[in-house]
Each structure stands twice: as C-alpha cells, then as structure tokens.
Structure 1
Amino acid sequence: MRRAALAFTFLLLAATARAQETTPANPPAPAAVPIIRTTLDPKEGAVVGQHIALYVDVMFPGDMPRPPRVAIPDMPGAQVMRFETQATTMRETIDGADYVGQRFEFAVFPRRSGPLAIPPAAVTLLDRDGDVTGTQTGQSVQETIVAPEGIDAKDVVVATDTLTLEQSWKPEPGTALHVGDALVRTITRTATDVPALAMRDLAFPAPDGVRVYVDAPASQDQSNRGTITGKRIDRVTYVFEKAGTFDLPAVDQPWWNLADKQAETATGKGATATVKAGPAPTTMPGTPAASTPVRPLIWATIAALAILVVLALATVWKWRAQAPHRRAEQALSEPAAFHALTHAGDSGDAAAIYKALATWRARLPACWPAPPDASALEMALFAGGPAWTKAMAKTYLMSLRQYRAAALARPRDSAPAPLPPLNPLGKPSNEFAPS
C-alpha cells in the first residue's frame, strides 16, 4: 500500500513538471478592446453637396500596438472620400484611465435631400507586426439633408464658401479664322472644401458647323492643414467645318454659398467666332516669254519645271504646317477616346471607366445611334447600387465593342441619334491604410 502511494505521488509530480514546461511563463495578454467614437461636423443643417466631416476616433487603453485600418461602407445617396493619408494621433484620459489612439477623417458629400444614414465604421485591429487580430464596428450616425433653394438638386450640387470660374481662349475669338481652324477653350473652377471629383460636368453645346472635342477633366486639388481646395480644369476644342458666324454659348456653374445662404452662378462668357472660307489658291507665275524665237520649247520646259518645283515645295510646306493640327485631331478623335476607354475597362475601376466613357461619348459622330446604357455603372458610383466588379466591366466593354462595330458598319447618311447626358465622376476608395 505504501509502495502504491509513493508511485502515485511520483507520477503526480512528473505530470506537474511536464505541465510547467509546456505552459509559457508569461502568456500573451488578450488584445485590448478599443473605444470607437463617430462624430459629424456640422451635426445638423447640412445641404445637398455640402462637405460633411466624418470623424472616427479609435482609442486603445494604455497602448496602441499599431494604427488600425478604418473604412466606411458605401451608402446610398452620398459620396464618401478621404482627404488625408495619415490619421491624427490622440491621447485622452477616459474614466481615469489613459487612452491613446488615432482619429480618421472622411468627407461625406450628400447627393439628395432627406435623412442620410451613415453606416458604422469597419475597424480592423492589427498587432505590432501588422497582422490582423480582430475587427470592431463603430456606431451608425444620421443627419437630415436639406435641398438648397434656387438650385436644381437633381444635378450635382456644389456647396461651398468660395467658388471661382476662370476662362481663357486660344487663340482669342476675335482672331481671323478660316475653315478647318480651331479654338481651344479652357475653364478652371476652384472651390474651397470641395474636391474636383465632387464638381459637376459642364455642357458644351455648339451650333451646326462646329465640331466639339472635350478633353478628360484634370484635377489639381491642394490640401493645407486639412482644408481642401479643389481645382478642376476642363478643356474643349471647337473645330469649324464651314464658313460663317458662330455663337459659342456661355458656361454656367450654379453653386450654393454657405456663407451667405443663397444660390449663386459662376459664368464663363460665350464668344462669337467669324470664320471665312479657306484662302484662295496661290496664283502661279505665267510662262516667261522666250528670249529668242528659236528656242520656245526649251523655255516652256523650264517654266513647267519651275511650276512643278514651286507646287512641290508648297505641298511640302502645307503638309508640315498642318502636322500639329493632324496630331491634335488624332488625339481628340473617337478612336483615341475608345482606346483609352478599353484601357480603363481592363482595370475594372468604376471611376476611371466613367471618366473615359464621358470623353468617348462626347466624341461620337452625330450619325451614330445612342450608345449602350451605363445605368449599372452610374448606380454603382452615385446611387448606392451593387458594387462594380471586373466581370461587370468586361461585360459592359464587350457591349460597347459590339455597338461600335455596328455603328461603323452603318451608312454614313444614317439619321443621327442624340447622346445621353453625362453624370459626375466616380469616387475613390474609402479605406485608410496604416502608416
């Protein structure tokens, strides 16, 4: 009996020693659960198109292993953008305990009036090595959006404290123009607290006899201490196909003045261009008279050769002089725009596809029928529809290729079909990556 007790005691001590060997002396502490706060500025009274600052604070008790990743899910009726790539580090005392964390800022631009529900922020927690340790969600917030008086809220509304519109022409419209010449019109819009992607597309109608080529808009946004100054540059080329006097319409940018609480309009004045027929062909010198009656055939041959040389030189000079114009027309042609559209379609990026699609639509010949509907793309970008995927981009691009092949095969005298209106640009990714 005594031997059995000793054997049992020995086995118990051996098991305890093995357990101590396999159990770490300092087991890792569970990851701290952060406090997530979501706030809006302004909290109420925002109008359609106004920049609403959405702040997401992620606070860790004691220590923050690594800045988390924060994303705002898509929401119907609004665009969500990110201005800063770096978040702001914060330190606070909450209920007597020290907390450290970061504030992430998003920009929300409501596109319709009524209640706007902003979904909870999705927070991905990381350890010191950058590996995912868990996920948390913030709180949903809501604000009521008001339609500004005097502005059509069905279009893209720009609401800001300051907006300017500057315009330039090259050459000036009063310059002597001939058939085949072109005018380049550049419009630059600058707005405070509104990025270029949130500005509306401009319409450039033109009278019969004027071909319009619209470039893809250029964005030159600048950030200064968290304040965005959006700058969008639109460039359009008018090519005159016949002689006459042409009135090029003004361009208007309606906007809501947040400071004065009233609707205003920034205008780029129209212009009148007078186009003359092409210059008359150069009159070549006549055949010189023979100096002696015995050699008329020789002098006639010399004169003919001189005329041929002059004509050849004039042709070469004209071809070289028109080379920049030919290159410009090629760059502004429908095939070049469609090539850019196919390149954007291969990437699958909805915003890039929409930009390229708008440019290509503007360059379609008037005799072509209306292109395939882009409602799925527009819903994905601006109305909270299903997310745009590469498969959807591939399918839509295939339909555009089929449409273009059929349009190219149509007779040239087919009846023209109006193009559908263009909508604003898409939106970028809404996720912060840690530094």
Structure 2
Amino acid sequence: MTRVVLALLLLWPAFPIAAQDSPGSDVLVRQSIKPESGAVIGQHVALYVDVLFRNGMPRPPRVSLPDAPGLQAFRFETQATTIQESIGNESYVGQRFEFALYPRRGGVFELPPAAVTLLDRNGAETRTAQGQALRLDVGVPPGVDPSQPVVATRGLTLTEQWVPGQDGTFKAGDAILRTITRSAEDVPGLAMRDLAFPVPDGVRAYADPPEIDDHSNRGAITGRRTDRVTYVFERGGHVTIPAVAQPWWDLATRTVRTAQAPGATITVEAPSATATPAAAAARSEGGWLARHRSSLIAGGAFLVVLAFAVAGFLRHRRRTDAADESAAFAALRRACATSDAAAVYHAFARWRAFLAPAEREAASRAAIRLDAALFSGASARWENRDSVEFVRLLADIRRSHSPHASEFRLAPLNPRSP
C-alpha cells in the first residue's frame, strides 16, 4: 500500500507566465497535462513536470505546485520516473514528477508554472527554475450537481455491512454498527464526498472518522474510503434507517450513475406494557450493567492499577530527586574546600537547579559575593575563607527551608520559571 501525502490546494495566486527553457540550456523544465481537453468536474487530470539536465543530473530536484482555487492536488509517495532524451544533438537525463489534479468546479483554470529547486550533489540548493503556465478547461456534464464533490471514474463500488445482522433481535438500549465502503478507480478516498446519516426519532447516530486506504499500482490509483456509524435505539418500534447514495459520473458511458446502500428496517422490542416507567428504567439500566459488567470491572481494575503506578512513580521520582540533591550539595561542599571560584560556581549552579523558586532566590542572594569575584574583574578576589563562609550560608538556607534538619524540600516536578 502506498501512503498518500495530501497537498490540498485551495487558493492559487496569479503568477507571470515564464518562457520555456530552450534547447541548449543546462536545465530544461517542461509542464504538461493529460487529458489536454475534455476534462470534467471531479475527473483525475495528471499534471507532469519534467526536469532534464544536460550531461547528467547531480541530484533529483524538489518540485512543488502553487495553490489553485477550485482544485485538489495530490502528490503520491512514489519516486519520480527517470527519463532520458536527446534534444538538439544534446543528451539530457532527468526525472518526471506527477501530480493528480481534481477540479471541483467547472470553467477555465490557469495553471501557473511549477516551482523547481535545483540541488548539488550534497543536497545544497543551487538555484531555482520553473515550468510553463497551462490552461485547463473543465466541463460540467448534464445531470451532475457541481455544488457537491463529484466523483468521475470508470468504476465505483459501494458495499454495506451490519453488525449484528439487521434481522436480529433488538431491545431498547441496543446498538447496531453500519459500515459503508466505497472504492473507485483513479480517485483517492479523500476526494470522495462525506456521507449524511439522517436518523428517525428514537434513534441516535454516532459516526466514526472515515478510514482512508488508497492503493497505487504503476501510477494507477484505487481509492478506498470506509465510513462507520453506530445507531443506538432509545425505544421500541419499527425503525427505518434511510438509504445512503453516492452519485458518480461514468467516464466510460458518459452517464450519471448512483451507487446506493439500501438502509434497513429494524424491529426493536419495547419494554413490557405492565411495567412502570421506573421499573422499565431499572431493567434497562440493569440490562446495560449486565451487558457491560465485565468491561466496567476491567476498567475499574485498570484505573486502580494506574493510580498505584502513578503514585509509585511519584514516590520514586521524589526519592530520586532527593538523592540527586544530596549528591549535588555534597559536590558543592567539596568544591568549597578550595578557593577555585569557577569550580564553586559550577557546583553551586548544579545544586541550585533542584531548588524551589523561594529557595533558589535565597541561594542566589547568598551568591552575590561569588558573582562579583567571577564577573567583576580583578576588583574582587575569592579566597578559601570565602568558600567556607559561602557553603555555611547555603547550609543554613537548606536547613531553614526543610521541615526536618536531615531533609530538604525539593522543587515541584514541574516548577514554574522564576
């Protein structure tokens, strides 16, 4: 399966038309479309960008398209095709890049030049080039509604599946899953229209995000889109879930066709007529609890295990931080046994990182003398007695902010910046 990289192009600014590179140039850029004429709304139009290098290609270039209103454009994660040509008695080699365009309205499109970035052998940008402006005429076939996304293809299928089966036994509170899968030739799943799922009274519908699964085989795209919706029955009776239709333009027969999921009529049992509303509600709730008891128990157990795991992690984190803080302060004591101001400062900075904002501020005030010795030139000196006094002040701060003499209150796990 080839994953699709979507470049959704909605706005296409005006660009000046560039002259085509002439034979003899070291780089030629050509831009073309297929079909050149007769395209209809929703049809795949292939846009080709050929980049040719005289006497060898140092590295494949980067090619992109400007935006265009009314066009969807897709670039697929497949390597460009290598091409070789002789032009004007010169040998050229390069690559062809392909983009898939899907017009979403009829009319005339002015396709501006593709942007080409040339690279050297190391991948560094050397210069830029561009293709040529093109004109695309798009028609709207009779019977096609251009206000909705149009699918124009030579083949489209639509299938519908119900789980559990629609002929089963259902009660108020039960649910059924409807899966609709559409597949079309030369149309990516993202280009297919969203389906509407209206419901009758007494039914709720919950639609999942669509699942896109496109395939590419030698440039031929097969788009596949799967939509799932869950219906929940709130009361008894005969429930009719409407059909869903996908209109499309058949490029082979030049006619409008419609693929349809027929929907279903489902019988839902109502609560007993002799039961009071409260009893019916209790039974409904009890039935729901019975059906989901195992899930609730498993979910509750998971939450309990998760809570213990989080609590254990936090305890471990605090113990680890406490040990790290103690080790950092021990290293600071060792540094303060010398008159090396730089070593003292580095050890102090490591230890200060463990402090809460209030303690960090107090420690920074105690380090004013150290800052002056390091950053104010020769006017201030740092001696061994300064180190001894400095670590004494920090030890006092450490004790005064601790609930116990042998402990130190650490900063929160996610402290705010001071």
Bin the TM-score by the shorter chain: 0.5 to 0.7
2:246 corresponding residue in structure 1: 253
CA displacement 1:119-149 (0-9 Å, x = unmatched): 2100000000000001111111111100022
1:321 corresponding residue in structure 2: 291
Question: What one-letter code is carried by the residue in structure 1 that aligns with 2:268?
Answer: V
Change in Cα spacing, 1:60 to 1:324, as seen in structure 2 (3 Å) is farther
Change in Cα spacing, 1:326 to 1:217, as seen in structure 2 (3 Å) is farther
CA displacement 1:237-281 (0-9 Å, x = unmatched): 110111111111000000000011110000000210111124799
Whether the 8 Å contact between 1:84 and 1:105 is mirrored in structure 2 is no
User: Aligned pair 1:129/2:99, yes or no?
Assistant: no
Change in Cα spacing, 1:326 to 1:93, as seen in structure 2 (3 Å) is farther
Q: Report which structure shows greater RCO (CA 8 Å, sep ≥6).
A: 1
Matching residue within 134, 137, 146 for 1:141:
134
CA displacement 1:161-208 (0-9 Å, x = unmatched): 000001110112221110000111000000000000000000000001
Say what the alpha-carbon RMSD is for the aligned residues.
2.3
Question: What one-letter code is carried by the residue in structure 2 that aligns with 1:144?
Answer: D
TM-score (norm. length: structure 2): 0.61
Rg larger for: 2
Could you list the runs of 5+ residues in structure 2 that have no partner in the other structure? Answer: 1-24, 276-284, 298-418
Whether the 8 Å contact between 1:83 and 1:228 is mirrored in structure 2 is no
2:227 corresponding residue in structure 1: 234
2:148 corresponding residue in structure 1: 155
1:57 corresponding residue in structure 2: 50
2:180 corresponding residue in structure 1: 187
User: Aligned pair 1:112/2:116, yes or no?
Assistant: no
User: Aligned pair 1:102/2:72, yes or no?
Assistant: no
Distance in 1 between residues matched to 2:228 and 2:140, nearest whole Å: 30
User: Matches of residues 4-43 of structure 1 in structure 2 within 5 Å?
Assistant: 33-43=26-36
| % identical equivalent positions | 54
2:270 corresponding residue in structure 1: 277
Deviation of the 1:85 alpha carbon = 2.7
* Local SS of the residue matching 2:190: helix
Whether the 8 Å contact between 1:82 and 1:107 is mirrored in structure 2 is yes
The number of aligned residues is 265
Distance in 1 between residues matched to 2:293 and 2:183, nearest whole Å: 35
1:173 corresponding residue in structure 2: 166
Distance in 1 between residues matched to 2:33 and 2:123, nearest whole Å: 29
Question: What one-letter code is carried by the residue in structure 2 that aligns with 1:96?
Answer: N
CA displacement 1:274-315 (0-9 Å, x = unmatched): 111247999xxxxxxxxxxxxxxxxxxxxxxxxxxxxxxxx9
Question: What one-letter code is carried by the residue in structure 1 that aligns with 2:252?
Answer: A
TM-score (norm. length: structure 1): 0.58
Distance in 2 between residues matched to 1:98 and 1:141, nearest whole Å: 26
User: Aligned pair 1:210/2:180, yes or no?
Assistant: no
CA displacement 1:342-388 (0-9 Å, x = unmatched): xxxxxxxxxxxxxxxxxxxxxxxxxxxxxxxxxxxxxxxxxxxxxxx
1:390 corresponding residue in structure 2: none
Question: What one-letter code is carried by the residue in structure 2 that aligns with 1:82?
Answer: R
Change in Cα spacing, 1:160 to 1:180, as seen in structure 2 (3 Å) is same
* Local SS of the residue matching 1:322: helix
Distance in 2 between residues matched to 1:41 and 1:326, nearest whole Å: 58
Whether the 8 Å contact between 2:62 and 2:118 is mirrored in structure 1 is yes
Distance in 2 between residues matched to 1:316 and 1:266, nearest whole Å: 42
Change in Cα spacing, 1:318 to 1:142, as seen in structure 2 (3 Å) is closer
* Local SS of the residue matching 1:321: helix
